Structure 1
Amino acid sequence: MYLLMLVLFLLCALVHLWASAARRVTLRRITKPLLMPLLLAFYILSAARPEPLAAAALLCGFVGDVALVMPGAEEKREKPHPLLMAGLGAFALGHLCYIAVFIRGVTRWPSVWTMVLAAAALCLLFIKIFLELRPHMGALMPTGTAYLVVLLTMAFFAGMSGVAGGAPLRGMGGLFFILSDYILARSILLGERRCTHLAVMSTYLTAQTLLVLSLL
């Protein structure tokens, strides 16, 4: 049964990515809310002991997907759209759920130097992204900054728990999540590019899939 869920997820993902590339807005809005429930079904059916918080993270992704796919949610305006704020909140909560899963699953962390170097690299990445986007954030400054901190924290624990547990896909998933949200942030704050939706969703789906696979 889990193979059927995986096939359905991959088919839905391919259709959604095609719709994103071809700018078929209606089809994109129909397929996007189906993605995380199908991935969640695959995870529950394939994991020996599914983590409730991992399932909650995917459900938060579903809520964020629905919020951001609604008309006007990703448009830049003087005051952030309530759907954009709801989407950011849902994804931030999902990242917190992932953090809890990653921390709880580690019995022995990597060396101190490994963790310090990883933290330093992510701090530099935070500075780079923040300085680039700060002039354009406006009213999104507090929320966007807090979200970036949560996102990078999730990526840190994904990478470190992946190293500790021999699950390199987890760290890769965290990095793809950063890339996806960075592209989305540039799209919202600096203006949409032609292939933005395709770039955001391809990296986002890669991120979620890698995180799920690392937990099996």
Structure 2
Amino acid sequence: MDTREMVTPRNPCFSAQSPHIARWLSPFFLACAFYFLIWVPEDQPLWVSALVKGLPVLCLVVFLGAVAPEGGSTPLFQGGLLCSFVGDACLVWPEAFLYGMAAFAAAHLLYLAALGFSPLRPGLLLPVLLPAGAFLGLLRPHLPPALAAPVAAYSLLMALVLWRGLARRGGAGRGALLFAFSDALLAWDTFVRPLPRGRLLVMASYYAGQAFLARSAVGSPRRRAR
């Protein structure tokens, strides 16, 4: 039997897991609702703000531990989520922006390793790099000189994760695309011009992107095909 058939949503064994998956995802949705409902002011950087902001991501770590196959790329996705939690906490304090960016860069490295390079689909790389380069060109005049090189390196790493996510398609592609969109909104809102409801758009797309990436690990073709 073709191993690809084992990972399609129509597979009965996969479908039978849906209630179990939904049950373990419910804390994530509750944590997201809690964050948006209490809406901790950004001008009051407190540890409780960092915890509430990062709680949905921690719920995804638990979700993967409960439903994803052991071994394979699951620990890499969990590591990426934990690094993201550190990044979320750092970004609560403006003076810790570089530390937050470093934590998210580590998360993207782990996601890159988790997504792998098969199938390669090199034709997707240029359509990803060109818009990323154009956006960086628009952003760069507004960046402090000390951040120009780190933001450029981070943007390249994010573009590589987007390439690999799109190459994998499905939830991985949607997750990487939403994550990149969230990062672009955050950069524009922070360095160029505040966006109307910018924080809401940034966090909604960010949480959705992380959820899609985590969900893609449950039915990873890379693991099942081995």
Aligned AA (2:37):
W
Equivalent in 54, 61, 66 of residue 84 of structure 2: 61
TM-score, with length taken from structure 2: 0.78
Aligned AA (2:112):
I
Aligned AA (1:150):
L
TM-score, with length taken from structure 1: 0.81
Q: Which residue of 1 aligns with 2:17?
A: none
Q: Which residue of 2 aligns with 1:186?
A: 188
How far off its partner does 1:29 sit?
4.3
Change (3 A) 1:159 1:122: same
Partners of 1:3 and 1:42 within 8 A in 2: no
Distance 2:133 2:21 in 1: 41
Equivalent in 10, 21, 29 of residue 10 of structure 1: 29
Distance 2:88 2:149 in 1: 22
Deviations 1:106-144 (A, max 9, x none): 4xx25xxx522x111112112221121011012210010
1:125 pairs with 2:141: no
Distance 1:201 1:12 in 2: 12
Partners of 1:169 and 1:211 within 8 A in 2: yes
How far off its partner does 1:49 sit?
1.9
Deviations 1:53-98 (A, max 9, x none): 111101001000110123xx1xxxxxxx3x1001100001100001
Aligned AA (1:49):
E
Aligned AA (2:52):
T
Overall identity of the aligned pairs, in %: 26
Q: Which residue of 1 aligns with 2:160?
A: 153
RMSD value over aligned CA atoms?
A: 2.1
Equivalent in 34, 52, 58 of residue 75 of structure 2: 52
Name the SS of the counterpart of 1:215 in structure 2: helix
Tell me the number of residue pairs that the alignment of Structure 1 and Structure 2 aligns: 192
5+ residue gaps, structure 1, are: 74-80
Change (3 A) 1:29 1:193: farther
1:93 pairs with 2:106: yes
Distance 2:77 2:66 in 1: 13
How far off its partner does 1:192 sit?
2.9
How far off its partner does 1:52 sit?
1.4
Name the SS of the counterpart of 2:195 in structure 1: coil
Q: Which residue of 1 aligns with 2:12?
A: none
Q: Which residue of 1 aligns with 2:62?
A: 41
- How is 1:193-212 mapped onto 2 (pairs within 5 angstroms)? 193-212=195-214
